[in-house]
């Protein structure tokens, strides 16, 4: 990993309009679901950058915006000094997608069930006109299968998706992203639909491929336990905003935001020979609707440390640097951590 910025997200927003009531229609008012609400981060070339949070926090929408599967409401996505949010021509978008690929959460749903593995992997090559002969295409398909450890390749080339296990399907999905030799891969919950015994194997394979091909990953997950060992940096999202950002080890060992602390406490820690009890999580209530975000700090309705200054203000707390590129968005994080240290 070096310090070159391959992707920069600046004040990115994605708001979805809600269906209007009769009153709203005649008054001209409109409500919005603020799925992504002004986030900024940089991704360095060769690193594994993770977006973490609960369902509905906006992490998958962020990935779809980066992939140009959704159009941003506001903000910029800069890839190699070009603002991809301003791309209007289909040709420019097509060229961009040669360099940025996505591994989807459900590998079975992202494949045509009538395609054999060779067809699934050949499709990107045909669309982007990367080869001129059938033999060239066949060679690239074989090489991609070898990279994801689906060998001997002859056993897999003519199988249909339903003839593969969950782990094998995920390997094929990964091979499909690699076949165009991309620079950046957005991996959206790539192991969430795979059984536990296979997750470590798939992540190890992805890490090996990343090192061999000098790839950059944006790893989207809700699982802190995998992110800690797989990722270089972590951005914790809550209700459309980034609330903490920093080095993976620093985030896990020294969490500053109450929400990050709650996520870490929610990870079970089995202790051999002892009765494992469900821990009490330092959080309350449910995630508010993204169509009705609380004023002030949007986490305050669930925060056990909230005080009037957290919700009497109109604005969200800004993401500020605490130390050594460790950022946090919380009005009281210093007080909270001082109390924890002295307890």
H or E stretch covering 169: helix 166-178
N-term to C-term CA, the chain: 39
Number of structural domains the chain divides into: 1
Assign 206 to helix, strand or coil.
helix
Q: The pTM is what?
A: 0.90
Measured over the CA atoms of residue 69, residue 71, residue 77 and residue 82, the dihedral's sign is: positive
Distance CA 197, CA 243 (A): 32
Where in the sequence is the domain holding 69, given as residue range(s)? 5-342
Distances (CA, A) of 253 to 224, 232, 247, 333: 12, 14, 10, 15
Helices 196-213 and 166-178: crossing angle in degrees, nearest 10, is 20
pLDDT of the residue at 279: 63
Report phi then psi at 51, rounded to 5.
-105, 120
Tell me, what's the pLDDT at 274?
Answer: 56
Quickly tell me which residue has 């051999």 as its tokens. Answer: 272
DSSP category for residue 144: H
Tens of pLDDT, residue by residue, the chain (343 residues):
678 999 999 999 999 998 888 887 788 888 889 999 999 999 999 999 999 998 889 999 999 999 999 999 999 999 999 999 988 888 899 999 999 999 988 888 889 999 999 999 999 999 998 888 899 999 999 999 998 889 899 999 999 999 998 889 988 999 999 999 899 999 998 887 777 777 888 888 888 888 888 899 999 998 888 888 889 999 999 999 999 999 999 999 999 999 999 888 877 666 565 555 556 677 888 888 888 898 889 999 999 898 888 888 768 899 999 888 899 999 989 888 876 555 5
Q: What is the DSSP string of 37-73?
A: EEEEEEEETT-EEEEE-STTSSHHHHHHHHTTSS--S
Residue identified by tokens 């999202």 is 237
Cα angle 313-315-319, degrees, rounded to a multiple of 5: 120
Residue 84, judged by CB atoms within 10 A of its CB (0-12, 13-18, 19+), counts as: buried
Sequence-distant (≥ 6) Cβ neighbours of residue 283 within 8 angstroms: 258, 259, 262, 302, 303, 304
Question: Tokens standing for 152?
Answer: 């001997």
- Render 274-340 in DSSP notation, one character per residue: S--PPPPPS--S-PPPTTSPPSSSTTGGG-TT--HHHHSSSSPPP-EEEETTEEE--TTHHHHHHHH
Tokens of 339: 């109390």
Max intra-chain CA distance, the chain:
69
CATH code of the domain in which 305 resides = 3.40.50.300
pLDDT of residue 251: 93
């Amino acid at each position: 990993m070096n310090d070159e910025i391959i992707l920069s997200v600046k004040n990115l927003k994605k708001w979805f309009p809600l269906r209007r009531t009769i009153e709203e229609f005649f008054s001209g008012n409109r409500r919005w679901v603020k799925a992504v609400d002004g986030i900024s981060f940089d991704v360095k070339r060769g690193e594994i950058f993770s977006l973490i949070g609960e369902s509905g926090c906006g992490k998958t929408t962020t990935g779809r915006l980066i992939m140009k599967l959704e159009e941003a409401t506001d903000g910029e996505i800069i890839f190699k000094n070009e603002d991809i949010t301003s791309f209007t021509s289909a040709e420019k978008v097509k060229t961009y997608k040669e360099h940025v690929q996505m591994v989807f959460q459900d590998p079975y749903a992202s494949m045509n069930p009538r395609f054999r593995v060779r067809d699934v992997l050949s499709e990107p090559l045909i669309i982007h006109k990367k080869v001129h002969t059938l033999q060239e295409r066949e060679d690239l398909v074989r090489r991609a299968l070898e990279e994801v450890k689906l060998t001997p390749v002859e056993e897999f080339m003519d199988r249909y998706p339903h003839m593969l296990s969950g782990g094998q399907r995920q390997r094929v999905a990964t091979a499909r992203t690699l076949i165009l030799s991309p620079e950046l891969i957005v991996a959206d919950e790539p192991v969430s639909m795979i059984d536990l015994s296979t997750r470590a194997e798939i992540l190890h394979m992805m890490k090996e491929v990343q090192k061999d091909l000098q790839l950059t990953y944006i790893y989207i997950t809700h699982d802190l336990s995998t992110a800690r060992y797989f990722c270089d940096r972590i951005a914790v999202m809550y209700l459309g905003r980034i609330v903490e950002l920093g080095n993976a080890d620093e985030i896990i060992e020294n969490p500053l935001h109450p929400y990050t602390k709650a996520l870490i406490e929610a990870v079970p820690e089995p202790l051999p020979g002892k009765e494992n009890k469900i821990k009490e999580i330092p959080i309350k209530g449910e995630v508010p609707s993204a169509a009705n975000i609380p004023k002030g700090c949007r986490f305050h309705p669930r925060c056990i440390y909230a005080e009037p200054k957290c919700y009497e203000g109109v604005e969200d707390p800004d993401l500020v640097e605490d130390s050594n590129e460790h950022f946090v968005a919380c009005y009281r994080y210093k007080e909270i951590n001082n109390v924890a240290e002295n307890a």
